[in-house]
A and B are shown apart, each in its own frame.
Chain A
Amino acid sequence: MSGIIDFANAIFKPLIDLGAAPMMLIVLTIIALIFRVKFSKALEGGIKLAIALTAISAVIGLLTTAFQDALNAFVKSTGIQLSVTDLGWAPLATITWGSPYTLFFLLVMVIVNIVMIVMNKTNTLDVDIFDIWHLAFVGLLAMFFGANLLITTCLVIFIGVLKIINSDLMKPTFNDLLHAPSSNPMTTTHMNYMMNPIIMVFDKIFDVIFPWLDKFDFDAAALNKKIGFWGSKFAIGIYLGIFIGLLSHQGVKEIFTLSFTAAFCLELFSLIGSWFIAAVEPLSQGITDFANKKLKGRTMNVGLDWPFVAGRAEIWAAANVLAPIMLLEALVLPGNKILPLGGIIAMGVTPALLVVTRGKIIRMIIIGALELPLFLWAGTLSAPMVTATAKKLGAFPKGLASGTMISHSTMEGPIEKFLAYLVGNASTGQIKFVLYAALALVAYLLLFMWYAKQMKKRNKIYADEAAAKAAK
């Protein structure tokens, strides 16, 4: 056994010692070549990933350094211990894609997806390769808390299978929301829709107790139009710079500096995020071609990234209204350590609200406000792992105080992060956690099964309506 480990170390250690960016350049290029991507395209993707990793590290450093003194003063002057900086999704995606385990989980889920299709357990081919990072993040978190690779892989497959089943369950609702015919193949396995079961519990409570609130639904598109640029990324950076600057008693000049720094960092995070999606593009096409070849042209639904429903104005109206609510909740929520910044426009929260409530905007806002604490707690729970991983990548400035941490306030899959925490700790042999993890996994599965039953009822109504329409 030690011989195998020595042999593996002899091969992989020099690669790991190069650092994350060069290592991922080599690993991504090789994996793309395995999927028969042309060498120049494979190398282009690898180089783009390395550049994105380097760039995101630099911007994280800029933001955390600029805000360190102000956040310390903020804690002193307000007594509020919000010591975790919220960077939004792009840095976390980059950090997760900086781990070779992400590629491993990707390969596992490609196989799982193909097996499910062949066994007729799903009709969805997932081509959203990039967003495997949400599931990989859960895996990395489980490993951080103590799970070995085998247990982590089992957890990833368990959640991954439910995600794929969920894409089939949601398909008719997407057609309804998009006013699309049943021939429309768009669906998604995105992690944010794994909140659907919990949202559905709230939605059923609404049906029974507060159905009259639906009368107060307003025109979401009109609200978005009024908000205009005031809800843009850079505007949010400005607000938060002013907010933190004022509460930490900074001077006018410092407040301007904080605001502009936050604004340009939020813009740059998205820009760099786009490079790094481009980096994975050749591999995504290679895997899709490979899967299509294996499936011999069978017609099926296509799993995309969530924004094919981004044209629904309710998503943005709810996100805009939830932003200040989340800020207030973050200030008073026991156990929360995150001050919302990069993730304050809750794109990881509102799409699932849209699907379950089918666009009832008041329900979206109220249920969203009720579930936001889960996201803040999950972000707080993940902060040590995110910070440790960023440090390994060299994405963390050396001068920062040891207690400074980074995370994301509205990252998709908060429940799955709690599962990762429990499974990880259970793997270390603590009986208490073994019990908690077992109970949590059973509860998670049962809730999903109940949700699946509700969605099947909903889908039957859609099918009956379509049949009645066709008969006319």
Chain B
Amino acid sequence: MFKILAACGAGVNSSHQIKDALETEMSNRGYEVQADAVMVKDITEDMMKDYDLFTPIAATDLGFTPSCPVVDAGPILYRMPAMAAPVYDQVEQAIKDSGKA
């Protein structure tokens, strides 16, 4: 199972949209992924170790360097499929690179 961490301000709106979109699209592309949505402020280095990919909305300063690859998932929130497609492609590539495809 490929695990993704999405994050936003309250951990309920934007990050949930990203979580739902990534789970749906990656499932359509034949990958088994699980995404969690949290508040940016609640992310710790320990928490990050449990994930294969971090998908914030935009550049995020956590006070440490994430231990996993990072893909900016903001374009998913624009609600325009053509703008979200490059994000999905990057996530798919990260899954392939992880060896968990």
Contacts and interface: CB of A to CB of B under 8 A. Distances in A.
B60 interface: yes
Contacts of A278: 16, 20
Contacts, number: 120
A203 interface: no
Contacts of B79: 127, 284-285, 288-289, 302
A274 interface: yes
Interface string A218-230: 0111101100110
A281 B76 CA distance: 13
A186 B58 contact: yes
B42 to A, nearest CB: 5
Contacts of A186: 57-58, 74
Nearest to B8: A307
Contact of A270 (B10, B40, B78): B10
Interface in B43-95: 44, 56-64, 74, 77-80
A319 B41 CA distance: 10
Interface residues of B, number: 32
B7 A225 contact: no
A277 B78 contact: no
Interface size classification for chain A: 35 or more
Nearest to B11: A270
Contacts of B12: 90, 270-271, 273-274, 277
Interface in A224-240: 224-225, 228-229, 231-233
Contacts of A220: 61
B16 A311 contact: no
Interface in B16-46: 16-17, 20, 37, 39-42, 44
A123 B82 CA distance: 20
Interface stretch (A28-36, A114-122, A177-185, A241-249): A177-185
Interface of A: 89-90, 127, 130, 178-180, 185-186, 219-222, 224-225, 228-229, 231-233, 270-271, 273-274, 277-278, 281, 284-285, 288-289, 292, 302, 304-313, 315-316, 319-320, 345, 347, 351
Given A274-B13, A307-B14, A311-B56, 12 more contacts: A178-B58, A220-B61, A222-B63, A229-B44, A232-B42, A274-B37, A277-B13, A278-B16, A288-B79, A313-B63, A320-B41, A345-B41
**Minimum-distance CB pairs A-B, first 6:** A311-B60, A307-B9, A221-B63, A225-B63, A307-B8, A274-B12
7 contacts: A127-B77, A179-B59, A219-B63, A307-B40, A308-B57, A310-B8, A310-B60
